[in-house]
Structure 1
Amino acid sequence: MATPQNQEIVLGALPKGITLASEAAGNKTWNVLGHTYLAKVESATSFAWLSLDPAGTGVPPHVHPTQDEHIYIMEGIYTLYLDGEWETAGPGDTVRMPKNLPHAYYNRGETPGKALFWVSPAGRLSQLFDQLHNLEDPEEVVRRSALHDVDFLPPGSVPGA
């Protein structure tokens, strides 16, 4: 029988075990600009989190210069900006965003979205989420993100964003 892995996460080798559907790895849960993120896997090579995205929320265009990012859509329809093009993805779809690719995602539907996100390598994204938790000032989000290798594009630089 599986047991929760509520041990402290130490970046390094991937720890064996199971993160239960109802739990966050290391009890790490963040509220970032209306989204709820639950850590699922964290090691030096990979970081994954479940994102609960209410209708009308999104993350504006940005770039991860050192990380590949992926999204596996579980519920809802996401509108995605991928290097100059707008696309949609729904349940069962996997979105691939290589490092340096300008990208954004929005839940522009009327129902909540739910998706598993992951980046590799892990970089400092978990530490960034620690700093963004309950932060409501978008300018401060952009400033802190830049210090953690996530670069937001200037407002208005992407039509439709």
Structure 2
Amino acid sequence: MGIQPGEEIIVGDLPKGITPAGEAVGNKTWNVLGHTYVAKVESSTSFAWLSLDPAGTGVPPHVHPSQDEHIFVMEGIYTLYLDGEWTTAGPGDTVRMPMGLPHAYFNKQDGAGKALFWVSPSGRLSQLFDQLHDLDDPDEVVRRSALHDVDFLPPGTVPGA
């Protein structure tokens, strides 16, 4: 039906515009567990970041209880754990991880991986990345993540992780 005359238009908090290649929205770039995350979109309903993943890096099994997460693979092959199954995704593939689904991703290839990740709603993931930047203590990563609605599964829970 479209917008009717006199109808109020609700505008969210997503700023219009373009985030140029090679730039981060809000100049936010993080080093998280060896990955470089570059913020691309941030609002209350959506948060997206470019993930540059060196060979041999990954994020162990975890759950976002209140966020859907997606990965659009741009370069490389990602090994993924999705709710009890191991699989792979390559360039052009989109990975869907509904809220509450245990998942993990690893770059087990010889070369770097590159992917666009996003979550909806944003939750407090950007604030978590602020706290994880340059942190290298895995126990502290798990502790801080739990305070920001990202729950890591106990080590040994997922075979092959």
Gaps (5+ residues) in structure 1?
Answer: 1-11
Counterparts of 2:109 and 2:149, CA distance in 1? 29
Q: What is the match of residue 97 of structure 1?
A: 97
- Give the TM-score, by structure 1 length: 0.93
Q: What is the match of residue 30 of structure 1?
A: 30
Q: Identity of paired residues, percent?
A: 85
SS of the equivalent of 1:143 reads helix
Counterparts of 1:84 and 1:14, CA distance in 2? 35
How far apart are residue 39 of structure 1 and its match?
0.1
Counterpart code for 2:87: E
How far apart are residue 76 of structure 1 and its match?
0.2
Please tell me the root mean square deviation across aligned C-alpha atoms, in Å.
Answer: 0.5
4+ residue runs over 3 A deviation: none
1:62 aligns with 2:42: no
Gaps (5+ residues) in structure 2?
Answer: 1-11
Counterparts of 2:39 and 2:84, CA distance in 1? 29
How far apart are residue 15 of structure 1 and its match?
0.4
Counterparts of 2:103 and 2:118, CA distance in 1? 14
How far apart are residue 52 of structure 1 and its match?
0.1
How far apart are residue 81 of structure 1 and its match?
0.0
**Count of aligned pairs between the two proteins:** 150
Q: What is the match of residue 53 of structure 1?
A: 53
Counterparts of 1:52 and 1:99, CA distance in 2? 23
